[in-house]
Structures are given as C-alpha cells and as structure tokens.
Amino acid sequence: MSLHAPLTVTNGRVLLADGSIQTGAVRCEGGFITAIGADVAPQDGDTVHDARGQIVAPGLVDIGVFAIDKPAFHFGGITRAALMPDQNPPLDVSARVRFAAQSGKPDFWVHPLAAATQGLEGKALAEIAMMRDAGARAVCTGRRWIGDSGTMLRLLQYTGMLGMVVIAHAEDAGIVGNAVATAGEMATRLGLPSAPAQAEALAIARDIALADMANAAIHFRNVTTAAGLELVRAAKARGARVTAGVSPAYFMLSDLSIGAFRTFTHLSPALRCEADRKAVVGAIADGTIDVIASGHDPRGPEDKRLPFSDSAPGMAGAETLLPLTMSLVRDGVIDMARAFELIAANPAKLLGVNAGSLAVGAEADIAVLDPERPWIVNSDKMAAAAGNTPFDRQPVQGRVLALFKGGVAVRMKKIGG
C-alpha cells in the first residue's frame, strides 16, 4: 500500500485500454488506478495534476535493455524495463536476479531476464526455476544465439513446463561470426566484415521448429529482415506461440547510414538494406511485430571512438523510443492505440505484469505527453549515461511532460518549457 496521497490527473485526453481516447480524469490510490472517466473528480487530500488537454497514457514498458539508466528512462516515459542478462557478472543465479529486481525501486521497476545458460555460454542450462522465484519475468539467450539445437530444445521444454517465455537473439552465430555489417553494396564498399541477412531467417526457422516441438512460447527480440518476418507471420498464422519485437533503428534506418563509418550506427543485428527496412514498417502495420523496444545500450567513448570493426554495438535508445514510434503514427502507418500496444500493453503482457494500459485495477504508471511537441535529439545533452544515438541532431516530435510511477510523480516538465 502506497503511503503517498491519492493522485488525480485531470483535464486529459485519456488513452483507454480498448484504444479509444476519452476526455476526462484518472484517479489513483494506493499505487493503483481506481477510477477513469469524464465524471471523475479529485477528492479531498488528492494530489492533482492538470494535463491541460494533453494525452494521458500508460507508462512505457521496455523489453531488453542492457543498463538501468533511470534519468533516460524517465525522460522517455518508461516506468519499467526488462533487463538483459548480459551484465557483469551475468544474471545466471537467483541472488543476482533478486538484486536486479530491487535495483530501480521505488521510482522505476526492473524486471530481470534470467540467463538461459550458465555464463550465457550456450551450453549448460542455468538455474531457471530458482531465478523465476527470485523475480525473473522471462528467460533470455542474451546477445548471442544458442547454437546447439539440443540445448535450445531442452531450454524450451523446461521453460514451457514453467510457463515462461524465451526471449531469443535471432542470428545464426556460425554464419555471423565477427561481422559488423550486413553483406551488400555498403559493406563491400566500406570493406567491413559482413554476414548475409539470411543468418536471421535461419536462426528463426530453427527456433520456431524447436518451440513447436516443445509447445513453448518464444519471443524474438529483434526481427529485422523480410525473410525473418515472413517466417514469424507464417508461424502465427498456424497458431504457433511466437511473438516478435524490433527497435526503432530498424524501421528508421538502413545500411546506408553506416556510410561514414559512424560507430553510433554499429548495432546488433547490423542495419539492413532498404527493402528490409520497408518490410519492418509493413510488419508493424499488419501486426506481425508485437513489440517496439528501445534496446537501450549506452556506450561511452571507450567503446565507440574506435574503428568501426573494433567498436561495440549498441545505441542509447530510451529517450527516443516514444518520438520515433510516434513518427509511425504521423506517417499513417499505425494509430495512437496501436503505438501504445507496441510500447506498453504488449510488452507488459509478455512479461506478465499488471501494467501497460490505463484500466481500473492496473498499476498507476501514467505518462502525460504531448505527441506533437517538437525537439531535436542531441547526443551531448541526453539524460542517458552515454549519448551514442544514430539519431543525433534529428528533429523529432513527442515529449513526456509528466510521469507517475505507482501514482507518484517521478518527472515533471513545465507545459511551456
């Protein structure tokens, strides 16, 4: 039970759980939403926040972040995130998972992803049931693909028995090797080590087949190619327990962006060709992709100020997740309801948490946002621990004006600021 005063957010355009937008208020008490509607009014003793006609939406739920970077998450409207097991040391024992699960409270909730294998080495299974009891919300292969099919099958059989989802990296490691780019004209022109895009489809095809054998749920964290998306689409059509995610870089950028050897565009998976980028946009529109996640991975100069092939992959994505997703709304690819399904409701459902939508009884994680507010991404001024974004100096729209975690304010911005 929260010790804070009840909260009422008034004068908002409330994005409801069914996708409709209703003018009214949201009242929260004890950390949960207790009332929503046009006739909801503050009670004596309530903390009142005037939304001034802006959108009142659920706090974002981010799946697959590599660091807990609260200033960046709060800036971006993210109230909870699933932490990748690729930590130092990895999240492969219950004590580390339990510590990670407590690390963001009270103003941010961390949902650890349990390492699928000991040391993330792809060999012996980790103590998955114990990590589940310690707070792990799903199991994850980490940055790497599990190459041994027998190990992957045993993992899926075990997680299926436990009722947990496996979050998988979808690239055949034997083909990718040390590649830093997707094979094609750009990689050839720049002389970069590259791997064919088909490495993704090969990994997805195998893992879907194994998940079918085990009758287990699998989520592919980043599906970035037309071939991979078609496999997911076909699997869903026949009723397989498969979901797919993607990060904004893969619907915003193609491999043309690596042309200046700019290491901020060194990502994993590598950026794909323009046809694959368009396929990702289409898959977001038709429902093949279930989740858009930031892939937040802040990397400092020691990791990025290096030759492209020697630099570390990754980008700081928490602050740009909302505005880049809003670009799909402005372009008519999706509507506002679908956008928050991708960045809030579906991730919450995948993790099994009572969040991601505004409904009576849900946890009071609320964002007040102006979807049209313009601003310019500036890597030098980001709230993240490092500003390694490929969207540096890009104009965007969509800004969080106020953020509440469990009905308590964690970020406020002046409406005129």
How far apart CA 337 and CA 353 sit, in angstroms, is 19
What was the pLDDT predicted at 221? 97
- Spatial CA neighbour of 69 closest among 383, 293, 406, 403: 383
Q: What is the 8-class DSSP label of residue 341? A: I
113 three-class SS = strand
What was the pLDDT predicted at 82? 98
CA 41 to chain centre: 34
Q: Which domains does the chain have, with CATH numbers?
A: 60-351 (3.20.20.140)
Angle at 12 between CA 417 and CA 334, to 5 degrees: 90
How far apart CA 152 and CA 144 sit, in angstroms, is 12
- Spatial CA neighbour of 92 closest among 111, 134, 64, 120: 120
CA 167 to chain centre: 12
Q: Write down the pTM of the prediction.
A: 0.95
Determine the residue type at 42: P
- Spatial CA neighbour of 369 closest among 414, 405, 328, 402: 402
What was the pLDDT predicted at 415? 39
Give residues with Cβ within 8 angstroms of 22, minimum separation 6. 13, 14, 16, 36, 37, 38
How far apart CA 386 and CA 409 sit, in angstroms, is 25
Q: Mind listing the pLDDT tens digit of every residue in the chain (417 residues)?
A: 457 899 999 999 999 999 999 999 999 999 999 999 999 999 999 999 999 999 999 999 999 999 999 999 999 999 999 999 999 999 999 999 999 999 999 999 999 999 999 999 999 999 999 999 999 999 999 999 999 999 999 999 999 999 999 999 999 999 999 999 999 999 999 999 999 999 999 999 999 999 999 999 999 999 999 999 999 999 999 999 999 999 999 999 999 999 989 999 999 999 999 999 999 999 999 999 999 999 999 999 999 999 999 999 999 999 999 999 999 999 999 999 999 999 999 999 999 999 999 999 999 999 999 999 999 999 999 999 899 999 999 999 999 999 999 999 997 664 334
